[in-house]
A and B are shown apart, each in its own frame.
Chain A
C-alpha cells in the first residue's frame, strides 16, 4: 500500500498552507491544555446527550462518538472544486432516478444493465410513472469523499436514502467554538450554521401543489430507540418542525394529518428518516409498526412530499456505484469532476476471477451492506476470514463488489501518545430544492482512531472532527 497522503505535512518537512496557523497554535499550546479541553468536549457531548446506539450491543444502548478536537482544514480553493463536483454528482443522481422511474433512456442506451435495476430489491415499482414535485428525488444527499493525493476527490459512496451525521457537523462546530475561541480568531472559517435554514427552505420548496401557502413540514423518526434519534430531535428542533412517529400520523381521503391536542392538522412535507420498507405497512412490510398506513396512496395522489423520495436506493446502491461516471456523462454530457474508486463487479466473470485471485489486497463489500458491516478488508484479514469470504463470493457473486484498498488521507489527531496521523473521510451534505442545490461549506469528517485502521464508521470505532473550510 502506498504511503497515505498527509493533509497537513508535505514530505520533506514543509506544511500545507491551510495548516500553517494550526501548526503554530499547536506549538504554543501545552499538551495538558489540549487534553483538558478534550475532556471538556466529552463532558459537553454527554450532557447534551449527543449519543448514538450500536445495534447488537446490549452492554450500552447509548454511546458517544469519540470527538477529536484537532480540526481538519481545507482551503477555499479545494472546497470550490469539491463543491462543483458534488453538485454535478447530485444533479446526475436526480436525473438518473427520474429516468429510471419514467422513460428509462439509460437502460435503452445500454449504459446500465436492466437486471441491476429490475432485480434489485431497492427498486420500487410503486414509483413507476409517479410524479414528484420539481423532479427532485434526493433532497438530502450525503456523499462520502476520500482523498489519496492533493489533486483529486474520490467518491467512496453516495448516500441518497436517509443519510445521517449532519447533527455532528453542527454540534462539532458549536463545541469547537466554545472550547477554542482563540483558534477560531486566528482563522477565517466558513460558517455552517445556515444548514437548518437551508434544509427547511429546500423542504418547503418541494411542497405539493395542494398545500397551503405556508406548507407544514414534519420530521418522521422511527423513535427513541433508533441509532440516529438524537439527530432527528436535534434537526426538528433547529428547523422548528414537529418530530413525529408513525403513530402520530393518519391518512384520511389521501391526505396526511398529525394528531394534535387540538385535533388533526394537515402535513404537506415529510422529512422522513424511516426507510422505504417501513413507511407504509399497506404497501411495504406489513409488520412495520413504524409506518403510516395509507401513506403511499396519499403520496400517489400527490398530497404529500416525501424527502427523500421513495425508491432512491436504486441510485446509491453499491452495484450502481460503479456506473456513476457513465451516468454523469450520459445525463450531463460532462466529464465527472469527482472520481470513482476503481471497482470490480463480481457479477461479471472476468472481474470475479480477478477478485478471487487478489482477495488479500482488495476490499470486498456487500452490494446492499452499509455502516462498515459485512465487508472484507483483504490486507487486514486472517487467512480463515479470507477463505470464508471466498466461499460467500462464489456462492453469490452478484452480491459483491471489490475495490483496491485505498490509502485514505491522514490528518493530525489526538492519540494516547500525542498527535499522530489518522485516516479520514468526509461526508458533505448536499441539499436540493425546487430551484437550487446548496452545500454548507464543510461536512462531517470521520476519523479512524486506531492506528493504521481504515474503517471510519462510528459503529466500528471511528470518531469525528470538525471540518474547516478556510474563507480566503
Chain B
C-alpha cells in the first residue's frame, strides 16, 4: 500500500484513541474535583490533567491558572491546542478523507458523523455539566464505534495492522503518561501511607483507563497502590496496560513482517520493549524507581514511533 495511506491510517487511529483518552481524563478529573476539598488534598487536579495530556507547557503560555473552565475548554475545544478533542476529531476526519479508499464505509461513517456532531456541539457550546457529560460520552462512544467497526469490518491486511499499531502505540503512551504524573501516589506502602486522599486518587487513575471494575476482578482486593501499578504496567489481560499494548504491537508488526516477507528495526525494537515488560516484576520496578522506569518507557515508545515512520511511512 501507499506509504502515505499507511501513515494516515496509523495517525487516524492515534487521533481517535487520543480523543477518547482526553475525554476519560476530563471525566475522571471532574469526579475527583467534585469531592470536598478534604478528600483530595492540595494538589491541583486540573494541573495534573494537563500534565497527563502532555500540554501543560502550551496551556500556561495562554492561561495563568488551571481551573475547570480553562482546562476543560483547552482540552476539549481549543483550536490552539493541537491535541484538543476537537482538533483530534478534525484531524481524524481529514486523515479519513485522504484515505477513504482504505477505510470501510462503517469507519468513514463513524468519523464523519462524529465530525458533523462536533460542529453542532461546538456551535451550541457545553454550558452545563450535563452538556459536558454528554459530550464526553459522545467522544468515548465515537472511539468505541470506530474501534468496533475497524475490528468487525476491515480486511485483515496491512491497512488493518497499521491502524492497530497507531492505536496501541498511542494507548501505551497515554497509560504511561498517567503513571508518570501520578507515580507518587503509587509508591509501596512502606514508603507512603495511604489515606482517604489517595483512595480517590487511585480511583481516578483507574477510571481514566476504564479499569476500576477490572481491578477488583483481577485482584479481588481493596485498592492497593502497587497492585494498581502492576495492573497498569504488567498485567497482560488489561487492554490498556503497557504489557498488553506491547503484546499487540509486536503481533501487528510480526503480521506485517510476514506479509512483506521482511523484518526490520521496528520489529526488533518492539520485541525488546515487550521482553523487558515480560521479564519485570513490580519489586524490580520499585527498586529501579517507578518514575525512571516510566520515563524510559515513554522515551522507548516514542522511539518505536519514529522507527515505524522511517521503516514504513515515508
B299 to chain A, nearest CB (A): 25
B109/A47 in contact, CB under 8 A: yes
A217-259 CB contacts (< 8 Å) to partner B: 223-224, 229, 233-234, 236-237, 242-245, 247-248, 258-259
* Shortest Cβ distance from A242 into B: residue: B2
A383-425 CB contacts (< 8 Å) to partner B: none
Check B100 for interface membership: any CB of A closer than 8 A: yes
A47/B113 in contact, CB under 8 A: yes
B97/A224 in contact, CB under 8 A: yes
Check A49 for interface membership: any CB of B closer than 8 A: yes
A28-60 CB contacts (< 8 Å) to partner B: 46-47, 49
* Shortest Cβ distance from B98 into A: residue: A224
A277 to chain B, nearest CB (A): 23
A248/B2 in contact, CB under 8 A: yes
Contacts A258-B2, A259-B2 known; A47 to B112 CB distance under 8 Å? Answer: yes
A244–B234 alpha-carbon span in the complex (Å): 42
**Most chain A Cβ neighbours within 10 Å, of B1, B4, B94, B112:** B4
Contacts A47-B113, A49-B108, A49-B112 known; A260 to B3 CB distance under 8 Å? Answer: yes
A46/B2 in contact, CB under 8 A: no
**Most chain A Cβ neighbours within 10 Å, of B2, B109, B158, B256:** B2
Size band of the interface chain A makes with B: 20 to 34
A95-146 CB contacts (< 8 Å) to partner B: none
Check B312 for interface membership: any CB of A closer than 8 A: yes
- B70-114: CB near A (< 8 Å → 1, else 0) gives 000000000000000000000000100110110000001100110
A261/B112 in contact, CB under 8 A: no
Chain B residue contacts of A262, Cβ below 8 A: 260
Check B6 for interface membership: any CB of A closer than 8 A: yes
A246-304 CB contacts (< 8 Å) to partner B: 247-248, 258-262
B108/A261 in contact, CB under 8 A: no
Check B214 for interface membership: any CB of A closer than 8 A: no
A236/B101 in contact, CB under 8 A: yes
Check B302 for interface membership: any CB of A closer than 8 A: no
A247–B2 alpha-carbon span in the complex (Å): 11
A223–B99 alpha-carbon span in the complex (Å): 11
* Shortest Cβ distance from B159 into A: residue: A261
Partner of B4, one of A46, A234, A248: A248
A236–B97 alpha-carbon span in the complex (Å): 13
Residues of A participating in the B interface, judged by any CB pair closer than 8 Å: 46-47, 49, 223-224, 229, 233-234, 236-237, 242-245, 247-248, 258-262
Known: A229-B97, A242-B101. 20 other contacts (CB 8 A): A46-B116, A223-B98, A233-B97, A237-B100, A242-B2, A242-B5, A244-B2, A245-B4, A247-B4, A259-B2, A259-B3, A259-B4, A259-B314, A260-B2, A260-B3, A261-B6, A261-B158, A261-B260, A261-B312, A262-B260
The 6 closest A-B pairs by CB, nearest first: A233-B100, A237-B101, A261-B312, A259-B3, A261-B6, A224-B98
